[in-house]
Amino acid sequence: MPIIVKKLSFTYSAKTPYERKALNNINLQINEGDFLGIIGHTGSGKSTFIQHINGLIKPQEGEIEIFDIKLTPQKRPKVNLRALRSQVGMVFQYPEYQLFADTVEKDVAFGPKNLGLSSEEVSERVRQAIEMVGLDYEAVKDRAPFELSGGQKRRVAIAGIIAMRPKMLILDEPTAGLDPYGKEQILNLIKYLKTHCSPTIVVISHDIDEITRFANRIVVFNDSRIVYDEPMQQLFKHSIQLQNMGLDIPRAVKIANSLRDRGIDLGEGIVTAEDLMAAIVERYNQKHAAQIDKEACVFDMYDFSQKWLTSEERAELEGKPNVEEEADAPKTVKKNKSKENDKKQKKSKRKKE
C-alpha cells in the first residue's frame, strides 16, 4: 500500500491572530495503481496535503505512511527524506520556473546525481527520462532550457523528476498556462508515465474536464476536509453539492443534467465527452431508427498516441521491423535499430508539425 494517511490535521500560524486550519482530520488511502484526481477550490487544503506527502511539511497531528516510511509529529526517529522524495516525485505548478542549469542534460541530471548514483547510471537515467517525455535526447541535451518552448520546458522539468524513477508521481496543475496543444501533450505524457514510469499518479487540477479524462478516482477537498472520495463515474451524483462548493462539474455532466431537467434521460454515469456522445448517438438511433456507430464518433482533439508509445509498441503497431528477421540478430543491434527507427519517426512527426 503506497500511502496511508491517518487523522492528519494542520494549522497555519497556530496561536496567532492569523491562525487558520488548513487540514482537519484527513483520512485517506492511496493504493498502488491509483490514478487519483484531487479537486477543491483555492484554499481548500489540497496543496497543504500534498506538501505533507512529499515531506515538505511535518505533520502536526496524525500520521502518514508512505512506502514504509512513517511521518509523525515526533522528532525521532529521523525520517529519511531523501528516500521519501526519490520515491514520491513531485511536479509543482509551473515547474519550468525551477529549471536552473545551463543545459537540459545537467538540469535533468540534478535529481539522480543527488541520489548518489554512479555517473553512468545518472547519464543512462537522464537519457531515458528525456526520451520518455517525448524529446529527442541528442537534439536537446546541450541546449539551454530557456531556449525551448513553454511546453518543452515543462517536459524537461518533468524529466528531471522522473529521472529519479519515483514509484509515485504527484502533479500540481500540470497544464496551467499552456496552449491547447501543449496541454494535450502533457495529458498524454501523464497517461504514458502511468504505464511506463510511475504506476501511481496523483493530479491536482482546477480543470475538471481534464481530470475526468484519466482519473479513476476523485477526492474532493472543501474547507480543510475531504468531503468526497469516490470512483470517477460516481462522483457527479453530487453535482449540486459540488457546485455549491464553487467547483466546476464536467461539461458533459452539465449537458446531461440540463437534458434530464427537460425530460430527456440519457442514463447514469455520463462524465466525459465520449460518454455523452455515445449516449446521444444511442438515443438518436432509437428515435430516428438510425444506425450510427457509436465508435465512429470521436472527440478528436490532438492525437499524440503515437508519440508516447515505446519504440517496440510503435514498431508493433506499424508492423515495421520484421520480428523474424531480428530474432537471430544480437540483442544490442536490435536495440539500436529500434532506437534509430524511433528517431526517424520522431523526426517525420516533427516535420508534420
Partner 1 sequence: MAVKLDHVTFSYNVSDAYRVDALKDLSLQIEEGTFVALVGHNGSGKSTLAKLLNGLLLPTSGDVRIFGNSTLDPDKIYDIRKSVGMVFQNPDNQMIASIVEDDIAFGPENLGIERQEIERRVEWALSKVGMSQYRKQTPFKMSGGQKQRLAIAGVLAIMPKILVLDESTAMLDPKGRSEVLKVAHELNKQEGITVIHITHFMEEALNADRLIVLDSGRIAFDDTPEEVFKHYEELKAIKLAVPWETQLAISLKKVGIDIGEGTVKDEELIDNLCRLL
By CB under 8 A, residue 227 contacts partner 1? no
**CB-wise, 293 or 325, nearer to partner 1?**
293
* Of 68-76, 111-119, 274-282, 307-315: span binding partner 1 (CB under 8 A): 274-282
Query: From the CB of 327, what's the least distance to partner 1, in Å?
Result: 41
By CB under 8 A, residue 69 contacts partner 1? no
By CB under 8 A, residue 43 contacts partner 1? yes
Residues whose CB falls within 8 Å of the CB of residue 61, separated by 6 or more in sequence, listed in order: 7, 8, 9, 10, 73
Letters for 279-308 (x = contact with partner 1 by CB under 8 A, - = none) are -xx-xx--x--x-xx--xxxxxxx------
By CB under 8 A, residue 273 contacts partner 1? yes
β partners of residue 38: 204, 219
First to last CA, the chain: 42
By CB under 8 A, residue 100 contacts partner 1? no
Q: What are phi and psi of 276, to 5 degrees?
A: -65, -45
**CB-wise, 183 or 217, nearer to partner 1?**
183
By CB under 8 A, residue 278 contacts partner 1? no
Query: From the CB of 342, what's the least distance to partner 1, in Å?
Result: 23
* Of 29-37, 135-143, 177-185, 304-312: span binding partner 1 (CB under 8 A): 177-185
Per-state percent for the chain, helix, strand, coil, to nearest 5: 45, 20, 35
* Of 104-112, 189-197, 206-214, 217-225: span binding partner 1 (CB under 8 A): 206-214
By CB under 8 A, residue 41 contacts partner 1? yes
Counting residues that bind partner 1 (by CB under 8 A) gives 47
Q: Cell 539551454, residue?
A: 144
By CB under 8 A, residue 143 contacts partner 1? no
β partners of residue 98: none
**CB-wise, 79 or 278, nearer to partner 1?**
278
C-alpha cell at 191: 497517461
| C-alpha to C-alpha distance for 43 and 48, rounded to whole angstroms | 9
**CB-wise, 116 or 302, nearer to partner 1?**
302
CB 51 within 8 A of CB 23: no
Report the alpha-carbon angle 187-192-197, nearest 5: 125
Query: From the CB of 211, what's the least distance to partner 1, in Å?
Result: 12
Q: Can you list the positions of beta strands (E) in 223-323? A: 225-231
Other Cβ atoms within 10 Å of 118 Cβ, number? 9
By CB under 8 A, residue 276 contacts partner 1? yes
Query: From the CB of 136, what's the least distance to partner 1, in Å?
Result: 19
Stretch 239-268 residues interacting with partner 1 (CB under 8 A): 246-248, 251, 254-255, 258-259, 262, 264, 266
By CB under 8 A, residue 176 contacts partner 1? yes
Q: Which residue, among 146, 156, 154, 161, has the nearest Cα to 105 in the 3D structure?
A: 156
By CB under 8 A, residue 13 contacts partner 1? no
Query: From the CB of 276, what's the least distance to partner 1, in Å?
Result: 7
CB 120 within 8 A of CB 112: no
| C-alpha to C-alpha distance for 133 and 154, rounded to whole angstroms | 10
Q: Which residue, among 60, 81, 63, 71, has the nearest Cα to 14 in the 3D structure?
A: 60
Residues whose CB falls within 8 Å of the CB of residue 131, separated by 6 or more in sequence, listed in order: 137, 342
Q: What are phi and psi of 197, to 5 degrees?
A: -135, -70
Query: From the CB of 280, what's the least distance to partner 1, in Å?
Result: 7
Residues whose CB falls within 8 Å of the CB of residue 118, separated by 6 or more in sequence, listed in order: none
Which residues form the interface with partner 1 (CB under 8 A)? 18, 41-43, 149-151, 176-183, 206-207, 209, 246-248, 251, 254-255, 258-259, 262, 264, 266, 273, 276-277, 280-281, 283-284, 287, 290, 292-293, 296-302
